[in-house]
Structure 1
Amino acid sequence: MADLFDTPGEPVPDTAPRPLADRLRPRSLTEVIGQDQVLGPEAPLGVMLASGSLSSLIFWGPPGVGKTTIARLLADETNLHFIQISAIFTGVPELRKVFEAAKIRRQNGQGTLLFVDEIHRFNKAQQDGFLPHMEDGTILLVGATTENPSFELNAAVLSRSQVLVLERLALKDLERLAQRAEKELDRTLPLDGPAREALLEMADGDGRALLNLIEQVAAWKVKDKLNTDALSKRLMKRAAKYDKSGDEHYNLISALHKSVRGSDPDATLYWFARMLEGGEDPRYLARRITRMAVEDIGLADPQAQAVCLQSWETYERLGSPEGELALAQALVYLALAPKSNAAYAGYKAARASAKKTGSEPPPKHILNAPTSLMSDQGYGAGYQYDHDAEDGFSGQDYFPETMKRPVLYAPVERGFERELKRRLDYFTKLRLKRNE
């Protein structure tokens, strides 16, 4: 009797048509292309298999990089019964049946490798349901997710598993896969060199997508090799992987922000374009660009914030795609502007200090005294009007009387803030002189 979630129905005849991706599915871990960082002799899985001790695993990576294949081959390597489920289609009743079947299998002397695709789609209660069966050895869990496990999986599941990151296939890996496909098809793809490279790039690091594309191209009946233009007309370019609410969104905005901070206009424009190509809302980018000006340029170039606001307004007036050029110009300006986070750091330090000192009142000499009672209490007594002081600076202390004067704002020697530092140093010297 077939186990639950084994392949249902009658065996498929060898003569039945099979997709190229299925025909080329590796039969051993040594046939897997790419992922040396987890499969190599000194890599985590290589070490586990060599020692004969395989732990529960979470595979984190984009689609089409071999998560399911590697899990199935791990079961073969360790003589574990392989069961595959998807979190999208599996509920609690089905999970109970899986666990019961695994218990019976264990009593009969065989372990179970349970592969859970899209494991992040299980809720907390469902994820908690795996724990006792992982702990008593009923199952060895291998989960697959395209989302960051740190945010999507329970800490308890993560603590009992090792997270392995699977990466997009590099062009050299995709070329090896293409050559393997040509051998299986017994024909060479009808593409010239640049077109072949363009085909690999269309896959965007996804091996399964590449094999699907190759299957289409191989079916074309053409006399001569196609160039890149001809290929583009016959094939739609695969959309780049980008989820406006997921990891890719945060990864790319982080790359954009750090490129600006690192004063690299070329990288800045590249990540800006990547986000636009992925369908990002330019208004979100306009807001983030303005934030960059406030956080990372600050008073080193006070004009930067105005440039960002003007580019934002220009986008609102022009719309896409012309308005996006204004945002691009603002980004180039920010990338090349002098950088300072001194005001930002000072603001955070001030917030921390305000939280620590609680309800300390201002010193009485800077309090107004609109009533005689307040005047009797010393409000305003001893206040020195700065415009009447020498150099227009009294040097009085404006912090609470019980608080030691802190240094919160420390300007840098860059851009306009160099001038602000000169002024601050000047006032510091005057303050020391007035309080001698």
Structure 2
Amino acid sequence: MADLFDSPDATPPEDRAPRPLADRLRPRALDEVIGQRQLLGPDAPLGIMLASGALSSLVLWGPPGVGKTTIARLLADATDLHFVQISAIFTGVPELRKVFEAARHRRTNGQGTLLFVDEIHRFNKAQQDGFLPHMEDGTILLVGATTENPSFELNAALLSRAQVLVLERLSLADLERLAQRAEKELGRALPLDGAAREALLEMADGDGRAALNLIEQVMAWKTDAKLDTAQLTRRLMRRAAQYDKSGDGHYNLISALHKSVRGSDPDAALYWFARMLEAGEDPRFLARRITRMAVEDIGLADPQAQAICIDSWQTYERLGSPEGELALANALVYLALAPKSNAAYIAYKAARADARRTGSLMPPKHILNAPTRLMKEQGYGSGYSYDHDAEDGFSGQDYFPDDMGRQRFYAPVERGFERELKKRVEYFERLRRERSG
């Protein structure tokens, strides 16, 4: 009896099974990839590598759903390399040995191997070192994919042998092109009006795979009329924003928040604050960071800023969420609009640096106490001027070590309360010159 699949009209069961839309629309050539023109254009890194026939090992760094796996597969096709895909989550040392051995055998037969390692940052440092000899002798061309910052997660030795390429979130225009491609594949238009269509694409948050999954869901709905935004959001949940409390998303957003406050922009500060709360950040972490902003960036230009931050923190602890978060928002707006000075911060760091440099220099003897006769005989306390007995309550004596000389660390700025402190510094400097003269 002939095999069922010998018939030209018969297809294997796996080919007859329904395929996800994202899989059906996977590009077959690099010029079909949507987005990432900064990498794939004729004058971009990958375009130049392919044109010159000199593809190097790569690390593709970017958020989920922007084409890392697709680009790696198409690079193998474009360079006639055998494509092998593994995931660092599911692959151990024994499996890696088999991959390298197969690549070595393939190489002896005249074919190279492009090894694509998804989530490469999940490999520990020793496992990452295991790739190095196989990259160096040409057994494999490594293409790693990561959503985490390679500077922190990958070995310096591996990074020195691979070029890091940054992939970007897909823009709304990119996602619209993807939606049009999906409509062509499915043979009908999305049942959404213009505003709802844009809302759907925004829900994907720059993730092409998520966009196609959302489109597939919407296309499965049985509806004769176009849905508006309200109807769409009732039927479909917004995709959670990409955020990892211990990863790049966390550090990128807190950096944006801190710099918005330093830049005196309360609106941007509130936006990044809200973004972090919406993503599930612990408000206590934000309270601590807001207080740090008051200490570092406002300092003595507004001495009450720090107290306001501590009060808002305590208010949050008493009220909890969500009301307590408003107290933190109040403090954030206050800090953004407060006068800024890091003069005390700079002075503190300079003093620490001098303390390390000068080591164990003794204080001058005239400011040391002399509780014993021997210490008095050694000159401890001799010549000390009691400031309260001096004119203006200021003796003008030198309090630095004898071998060090007087230093100037604190230079207040002409902003906020520090303007008054600057007057005081200048006043005491003038008196010091007069008394020393």
Write the deviation string for residues 150-175 of structure 1: whole angstroms up to 9, x where unpaired.
01101110000000000110111001
The reply on whether 1:363 has 2:364 as its aligned counterpart is yes
| Equivalent in the alignment of 1:171 | 172
Q: Which residue identity lines up with residue 244 of structure 1 in the other structure?
A: K
- The structural deviation recorded for 1:272 is 0.1
| Equivalent in the alignment of 2:421 | 420
- The structural deviation recorded for 1:11 is 6.5
| Equivalent in the alignment of 2:321 | 320
SS at match of 1:94: helix
Query: For 1:142-161, what aligned pairs fall within 5 Å after superposition?
Result: 142-161=143-162
The reply on whether 1:125 has 2:126 as its aligned counterpart is yes
Instruction: Give distance in 2, aligned partners of 1:40 and 1:397.
Output: 66
| Equivalent in the alignment of 1:277 | 278
Instruction: Give distance in 2, aligned partners of 1:293 and 1:266.
Output: 18
Write the deviation string for residues 290-327 of structure 1: whole angstroms up to 9, x where unpaired.
00000000000001001100100110111000000000
Instruction: Give distance in 2, aligned partners of 1:28 and 1:152.
Output: 31
Instruction: Give distance in 2, aligned partners of 1:274 and 1:387.
Output: 54
- The structural deviation recorded for 1:15 is 3.1
| Equivalent in the alignment of 2:346 | 345
| Equivalenced residues, count | 427
Q: Which residue identity lines up with residue 92 of structure 2 in the other structure?
A: G
- The structural deviation recorded for 1:16 is 2.6
Write the deviation string for residues 26-55 of structure 1: whole angstroms up to 9, x where unpaired.
000000000011111111101101111000
Q: Which residue identity lines up with residue 216 of structure 2 in the other structure?
A: E
Query: For 1:376-395, what aligned pairs fall within 5 Å after superposition?
Result: 376-395=377-396
- The structural deviation recorded for 1:388 is 1.1
In structure 2, relative to structure 1, the CA distance for the partners of 1:12 and 1:81 (3 Å cut) is farther
The reply on whether 1:262 has 2:240 as its aligned counterpart is no
TM-score between both structures, scaled by the size of structure 2:
0.97
Q: Which range is displaced more, 63-72 or 122-131?
A: 122-131
| Equivalent in the alignment of 2:138 | 137
| Equivalent in the alignment of 1:115 | 116
SS at match of 2:348: helix
- The structural deviation recorded for 1:13 is 4.9
Write the deviation string for residues 363-386 of structure 1: whole angstroms up to 9, x where unpaired.
000001111111111111000111
Write the deviation string for residues 389-416 of structure 1: whole angstroms up to 9, x where unpaired.
1111111000000002111001000000
The reply on whether 1:308 has 2:309 as its aligned counterpart is yes
TM-score between both structures, scaled by the size of structure 1:
0.97
Query: For 1:5-404, what aligned pairs fall within 5 Å after superposition?
Result: 13-404=14-405
Instruction: Give distance in 2, aligned partners of 1:39 and 1:425.
Output: 60
Instruction: Give distance in 2, aligned partners of 1:364 and 1:175.
Output: 77
SS at match of 2:251: helix
Instruction: Give distance in 2, aligned partners of 1:242 and 1:30.
Output: 31
Instruction: Give distance in 1, aligned partners of 2:420 and 2:13.
Output: 78
Q: Which residue identity lines up with residue 154 of structure 2 in the other structure?
A: L
SS at match of 2:218: helix
- The structural deviation recorded for 1:14 is 4.0
Q: Which residue identity lines up with residue 36 of structure 1 in the other structure?
A: R
Write the deviation string for residues 53-77 of structure 1: whole angstroms up to 9, x where unpaired.
0000000011000000000000000
SS at match of 1:316: helix
Instruction: Give distance in 2, aligned partners of 1:41 and 1:415.
Output: 53
SS at match of 1:138: coil
Instruction: Give distance in 1, aligned partners of 2:195 and 2:409.
Output: 57
- The structural deviation recorded for 1:124 is 1.2
Q: Which residue identity lines up with residue 63 of structure 2 in the other structure?
A: P
SS at match of 2:16: coil
Write the deviation string for residues 161-208 of structure 1: whole angstroms up to 9, x where unpaired.
000000110111001100100010011001111111110010000000
Q: Equivalent pairs: percent with the same residue?
A: 83
In structure 2, relative to structure 1, the CA distance for the partners of 1:358 and 1:422 (3 Å cut) is same
| Equivalent in the alignment of 1:433 | 434
Instruction: Give distance in 2, aligned partners of 1:13 and 1:339.
Output: 65
Q: Which residue identity lines up with residue 294 of structure 1 in the other structure?
A: V
- The structural deviation recorded for 1:12 is 6.2
Instruction: Give distance in 2, aligned partners of 1:37 and 1:406.
Output: 51
